[in-house]
Amino acid sequence: MPSVAIDPANADEYASQSKLLQEFTNVPTIDKAWIFKSGNANTSRAMFIVRQVDLLTNKERMMVLSSHISKASEDSVDFQWSPFPVEMNGASAVVPSPSGLKLLVVRNKENDSPTVLEIWGPALLEKEIHVPQSVHGSVYTDGWFEGISWNHDESMIAYVAEEPPLEKPVFNYLGFKKEGSSEKDFNSWKGQGDWEEGWGETYSKKRNPSLFVVSINSGEVRPVKGIPRSLSVGQVVWAPSTSKANNSLVFVGWSIENGPQKTPRKLGIKYCYNRPCALYGIGDPFQDQSSSESSNGNEDVVNSAINLTQDLGSAFCPRFSPNGKYLVFVSARNAVESGAHIATDSLHRIVWPSDGLLHHSLDIIDVVSLHLTGTILLARTYFCCINAHAFYNQHSILN
């Protein structure tokens, strides 16, 4: 049967709509931006992550664009852009260090291949770390569970990735085989193991998000122990470094056990803010182990996650002030308590202990409520997170 020709009127409409779509998709969007100080007080360096839709592959191109910013006058600044952006083929995330002298490039691979962490210096690739699936799976770069944070001396990076695959039961013609088998053992087969509910939607088939730290100098990757497996972690940041305490991490934990019925309440987490969560603190896994030794030799008992926001039903998006004195975060407790998918959020701060020692009794202070003017420190608003570098001085943020 011959094909039916397209109606000329529809053809003109198709051409018009496709041209309009191309004009929209050709406009790049700035996804992330960083500003770094330079030796001159009147100039700074900036780095931008730019994305552009690729209609043929139905994916986004990720590019890096750099600029020098100079103060032209008291009322204006001048941007000197690099001639062209650089496309980051195969990169899942690009995160510069606080000084701007190092760059982390994350490459999540497919088909159970190792995840690659690249550390770039000013003019060369300094280190390439291949992390096998037995350590962890893909790094989360979704914008919600995602958390990639350099420590203050730029020697370590904390990040969130899929936990390693759970061991599956092995069977042969005699039944269950306790000692397991290799992949090439044709006389046995692997079962599926226990079924676990995932987070669904964009997280379909992804394993539980867990916390890891990589040492830049040694290339070693360690899981952060002491976090219950019932917690899904995300949004990790390094706490301020002090001379009296080892480095510690602050992260968000979503429990799969909520309410009297221990209901997971997983599906829809990315856009429904009525999922209970809390801020937790825990020690750096590379810290001096002598301070973590106990009488029974159990390290996990000492280095265990501490709930910093026990009195709130929701706490996420932690941000430290530039001087390290305050920890500011967002709470969706109105949504959690009412069951609404989204409600007005609240802004809170914790005075961070000067000794850096973590404990449950940190005072949580409600930020003074202001009118919804779109200015600073909104305590009742609908923004779902705080920008990574939202502080424009020690006491005020812009969002």
> 237: burial class by Cβ within 10 Å (0-12, 13-18, 19+)?
buried
In the predicted model, is pLDDT for residue 362 greater than 70? yes
The tens digit of pLDDT for each residue in 109-150 reads 888 899 999 999 988 999 999 999 999 999 999 888 999 999
φ, ψ dihedrals at 101, nearest 5°? -90, -15
- Other CB atoms within a 10 A radius of the CB of residue 236 amount to 25
Domain range list for the chain: 25-89
The pLDDT, as a whole number, for residue 369 is: 44
As a three-state string, the secondary structure of the chain is: CCCCCCCHHHHHHHHHHHHHHHHHHCCCEEEEEEEEECCCCCEEEEEEEEEEEECCCCEEEEEEEEEEEEEEECCEEEEEECCCCEECCCCCEEEECCCCCCEEEEECCCCCCCEEEEEECCCCEEEEEEECCCCCCCECCCCCCCCEEECCCCCEEEEEEECCCCCCCEEECCEEECCCCCCCCCCEEECCCCCCCCCCHHHCCCCCEEEEEEECCCCCEEECCCCCCCEEEEEEEECCCCCCCCCEEEEEEEECCECCCCECCCCCCCCCCCCCCEEEEEECCCCCHHHHCCCCCCHHHHCCCEECCCCCCCCEEEEECCCCCEEEEEECHHHHHHCCCCCCEEEEEEECCCCCCCCCCCCEEECCCCCCCCCECCCCECCCCCCCCCECCCCCEEC
Q: How far apart are CA 169 and CA 173, in angstroms?
A: 14
Q: What is the mean pLDDT of residues 223-250?
A: 85
How far does Cα 186 stand from its chain's mean position?
Answer: 41
- Do 266 and 272 contact (CB within 8 A), yes or no? no
Q: How far apart are CA 145 and CA 161, in angstroms?
A: 9
In the predicted model, is pLDDT for residue 393 greater than 70? no
Smallest CA-to-CA distance from 347 within 396, 276, 305 is with 396
| Number of residues that make up the chain | 399
- Do 147 and 210 contact (CB within 8 A), yes or no? no
The pLDDT, as a whole number, for residue 108 is: 94
In the predicted model, is pLDDT for residue 28 greater than 50? yes
Of 34-43, 85-94, 374-383, the least confident: 374-383
Query: pLDDT over 70 for what percent of the chain?
Result: 81
Q: What is the mean pLDDT of residues 265-285?
A: 83
Q: pLDDT band at 217, cuts 50/70/90?
A: very high
